[in-house]
Structure 1
Amino acid sequence: MADVLRGIKANNAFYHSLVGYAEHLQAQGDVPECLQVCQEAANYATFQYCGFYAEPRLEQLLIRIRHQAAIGPIAPAARPAATRLRVLHYATSVFEVGGHTRLLDNWIRADAANQHDVLLTQQTVPVPAFLTEAVEAVQGNVTVLDSADVLSNARHLAGVAGGYDVIILHHHANDVVPILALAAAERSVPVCVLNHGDHRFWLGVVVCDLLVEIRDNLIAADKQRRGIQAFGLLPIPVHTSAVSPEAYHASRAILGILPEQVMLLSIGASYKYDPIDEKNFFADILPVLERYEQAVLVVVGIDPASDLAIRYAHPRLRFVAPTMHLADFHNACDIYLEGYPFSSFTAYLEVGAQGKPICRMYAPPLLNAYAISTYPAPVHYPADRAEWTGYLQHLITDAQARLVAGRQEYANSSTHAPAAIQEHVRIIYRKAAAVAGKAVVNSLPTTVFSGPNDQYLYKMQYNPERLIVLHKYFKLPLTAKLHLVAHNIRSLMARSDISVRDLFWFVFKAK
């Protein structure tokens, strides 16, 4: 634990050395170079846990840059009275696979009575067709900005913002554009942040009038960690639909699942299964597969040729590369296994909405515990590995137990169904209108958090193999360079492309 706490403090110190250098550049009037360093600081905090979930120093610096770059005010646009709300969804980028884009898509589909536009600033792949179709169905537009210039993108967002009744931010954690664009003193259009990255640091508290949580068990934590005052709730939208026996058997035939087999399903990106301490999903499941010959596990999201798949190869463990075509996997499975140590909430909620039982991870930290206070049935998280194993074995061997547990999941899924989502969205709009421009009352904490949840997050994000690109930091002052090299000395010395002489040159040469 001591090593983890030292690591968090070291990350925090290097982050602040970056922000300090950015402040120096801003004071000199070098806005482009300052913005580059701000971006590096945001990147670092996003991918290396620094002990905070919101950070006031960088956010305030971005506000000063906004003034220095003369990004204009956000003036309400004159337009005819309309019965429909105009909603702007801002996202950094969207993808074919993953809950982030699906949540945006489902919001628009659930609120088809209003007009929705989508603005993207760092879209490097084609916009998913399902999202384009959803926007077009409500007479909206998808705009992809092709400029790599951050200030240009911020000016565009600031320029169009006044034409909307509400702005929803679905941005990436390290995106500086929302603050540069929307931190205007006289902004009347409300800004909501959809907290899809609720477990981690993100930029944007200073423009967040209303924080839209995807689970209300994190509201108290976000008050403490981010200093936010106003909250809404949008449970992750899913469609409730029980699977017919015909669909169940047809999908199993397609996947080659035998009638007597009990199919376990887990869905998630490869990194979500990387072990932390005692939590090793594949090491835990293999003994279960060995004991119960009727059990077969399909894991969707991991390439069969990957090192992870090869390391844990088993005759009844099947790996499937990432795909958005999940219907047959959902239909055919008997039990959903939540992957760990990092959860995929949307993945298991979609299966639970079919009336399938879910075996959740054991002893989850706060960041992995998903619950809604209005659920009609209790959510069960095993206390430890032994209880997890016992519960899973019970589900594998008892069809009636699977049926009962599946009914509970199906009952809870009504909280995520379209009708419930529509009502939540209406409440969000009403709350947002009441707090428009009130983000200034948010008080970002300066605490360095280091409790059990924070230590878990540090370990999740710790990656000694992450390459440090030294030339990006060449203009840093001496103290910041020393921080960088000292904190990453093991990985730097292990690289064949860097020598001790290179490190001395990097630290002590000015150009």
Structure 2
Amino acid sequence: MEKIANNTLSFWQEEGSRLIQQNFEEFHSLVTQAKGYLRRGNYEAAAVYADIAAFYAICKHSGLFVSRELEEVLLTIGRKVIGKSVDHSQSKPCPDSPKHVLHVATYVANIGGHSRMLLRWIQQDTERSHSLVLTQQAPKEIPKIFKDAVSDRQGEIYVLNESIGSLISWAKQLREYAASTDVIVLHTLCDDVIPTIAFANKEQLPPIIFVNNADTYLWLGASITDVVANLRESGMRLSQARRGIEEKRNALLPIILSPIHRTLSRTEAKRELGIAEDSILLLSIARTAKYQTIDGISFADAHVPLLEKYKQVILIVIGPGNSEDWSAAIQQTNGRIKIFGEREDTAVFYQAADIYVDSFPMTSITSMLEAGSYGTPLISRHYFSPKSDILGGDAPGLTGNLIYVSDLNEYNQVLSNLVEDEELRLNLGEKTNKKIVKTHTGNGWYKNLEQVYQRAMDLPKLTVNTSFKDQICLGEPDSLLPYFYPENQHIDLDGMIQGHIRLMPFNERLQSWVKLTRKHGFSRLSLLLPEWFYLRYYLRLRT
């Protein structure tokens, strides 16, 4: 089975290299269009096309983890439209330690790793005031829990796209909000152009920290960031090797977790789920896309030999729902493979689990951290070579305890050992729990945060030379990424343009609307509305 999988990986690498070259040509064309608008002084259109280019590179990996050419477009816009407006009379000395923190996010929600990290940061950092700027929150409501957290820290929340304006006017607002703070922390999505425009001129700015929430994607902000806070070691290595982040500006800040406490013993949790108390429960939780069938061998199929060998073993997988290609494995194991769709009530499953098995071929780090927090041993199968360690499941709290395997034979052998040896399971689970708690919660996490703050305050302001051409990479991990996120491959360029059309100046908006109408048939007239009007009035009239 492993040889077949390796053949698939070889195909992915070969086809992925071809796709990367094709994607880069389209990406570079979009960057060239942005440069053209920039040369003509149409900064609004240049900003929008830079936004489209970044979004394209995220959906269609183009062999880059940073684009200095694209960032130079945004820096030039910022220097042209914002640089001269800086009021030097308002300058203030930089404090030894920050007291006022300004967080910048694209949007926040009740669920999602970006939002949870930001929320817990504000809640845990009790010695400072915290304010929050949201660049694209409207028309989504700000969750009450964020309002309460910021209020408790004597801060304010600002939503840029609620006001009449454009990308550039919103960038100007962000620049104004940053003037009175001690440190800026960027939690923005990869394609958010507003901060790079806003902070292009670093005079009179406090230090900027970028939280590397999406380390397998190209993201904007490397050219303005004083310290990159990476969430794991592989991300930190990639930031230095592929994003050009200097070692001294490359820091590690573990994902912050809320302390987890058992409310049920394993036996009680199994009883609540209707599972036999003497069963051995294997658990896996991830999004559907992370469980990909390779050459007809599904995630469920990989566990059939183990379940046939040990009749007391049950596998529960939360996320994929009713996957048809798992039916044979379910039948072979007499229904001891149970599949559920995405759900929020996962705590009882975590507490019932004896062993946590990571999703593959794509890992789910947050789920492993949560499982390990309950004292459950963790096993992850890593298909790829050390060059692709960014595709693995590493995290500071997992290092030394997560069991990594490279093939199915080793995977089944390790699982067999864990099934047969309860003491091994309990000891490994306890060590995993202690490491995660120490690293990702409470004072342990807070010490890491203080070190990141201090590094940002002590280092001289970043100066970046962006005057060189983007160079793509066709090897690992790049060649695998088009297949790692297959759902993105179905998004076409016209769809991306349509998603950004309301941000364009009127002439470019009308021209794009006409092109889309000629190509695809009559387009919605509401696409001709400017973004601020659409969000502020049109959507309200429709509800």
Q: What TM-score results when the alignment is normalised by the length of structure 1?
A: 0.83
Query: What SS does the corresponding residue of 1:221 show, helix, strand or coil?
Result: helix
Question: Is the aligned partner of 1:256 residue 2:274?
Answer: yes
In the other structure, the counterpart of 1:140 is 155
Aligned match for 2:314, one of 272, 284, 296: 296
In the other structure, the counterpart of 1:233 is 252
1:427–1:223 Cα change, 3 Å: same
Question: Is the aligned partner of 1:402 residue 2:425?
Answer: yes
In the other structure, the counterpart of 1:7 is 19
1:457–1:444 Cα change, 3 Å: farther
In the other structure, the counterpart of 1:317 is 337
Give per-residue Cα distances to partners, 1:360-416, cap 9 Å, x unaligned: 123453113344679784543112121112212322333222112212312321222
Deviation at 1:205, TM superposition (A): 0.5
Query: What SS does the corresponding residue of 2:404 show, helix, strand or coil?
Result: coil
Among the aligned pairs, what percent are the same residue? Answer: 28
Question: Is the aligned partner of 1:102 residue 2:116?
Answer: yes
Give per-residue Cα distances to partners, 1:12-37, cap 9 Å, x unaligned: 11110111111112212223322222
1:100–1:74 Cα change, 3 Å: farther
Residues in 2 aligned to 1:241 and 1:463: alpha-carbon distance in whole angstroms: 33
In the other structure, the counterpart of 1:155 is 172
1:209-224 aligned within 5 A: 209-224=226-241
Question: Is the aligned partner of 1:337 residue 2:360?
Answer: no
Counterpart residue identity of residue 100, structure 2: R
Counterpart residue identity of residue 254, structure 2: P
Residues in 1 aligned to 2:79 and 2:94: alpha-carbon distance in whole angstroms: 31
Q: What TM-score results when the alignment is normalised by the length of structure 2?
A: 0.79
How many residue pairs get matched? 476
1:442–1:243 Cα change, 3 Å: farther
Deviation at 1:178, TM superposition (A): 1.1
Deviation at 1:161, TM superposition (A): 0.6
Q: Is the 8 A contact 1:224 1:445 kept in 2?
A: no
1:465–1:369 Cα change, 3 Å: closer
1:126–1:279 Cα change, 3 Å: farther
Question: Is the aligned partner of 1:45 residue 2:62?
Answer: no
Residues in 2 aligned to 1:354 and 1:117: alpha-carbon distance in whole angstroms: 33
1:132–1:442 Cα change, 3 Å: farther
1:228–1:401 Cα change, 3 Å: same
Aligned match for 1:362, one of 382, 391, 410: 382
Deviation at 1:352, TM superposition (A): 0.9
Query: What SS does the corresponding residue of 1:43 show, helix, strand or coil?
Result: helix
Residues in 2 aligned to 1:311 and 1:119: alpha-carbon distance in whole angstroms: 50
Residues in 1 aligned to 2:58 and 2:371: alpha-carbon distance in whole angstroms: 30
Query: Where do 5+ consecutive residues of structure 1 fail to align?
Result: 475-497, 504-511
1:465–1:451 Cα change, 3 Å: closer
In the other structure, the counterpart of 2:303 is 285
In the other structure, the counterpart of 2:477 is 453
In the other structure, the counterpart of 1:126 is 141
In the other structure, the counterpart of 1:273 is 291
In the other structure, the counterpart of 1:63 is 75
1:86–1:464 Cα change, 3 Å: closer
Moved more, 75-84 or 19-28: 75-84
Counterpart residue identity of residue 116, structure 1: H
Query: What SS does the corresponding residue of 1:206 show, helix, strand or coil?
Result: coil
Residues in 1 aligned to 2:290 and 2:250: alpha-carbon distance in whole angstroms: 28
Q: Is the 8 A contact 2:56 2:496 kept in 1?
A: no
1:194–1:465 Cα change, 3 Å: closer
Deviation at 1:82, TM superposition (A): 12
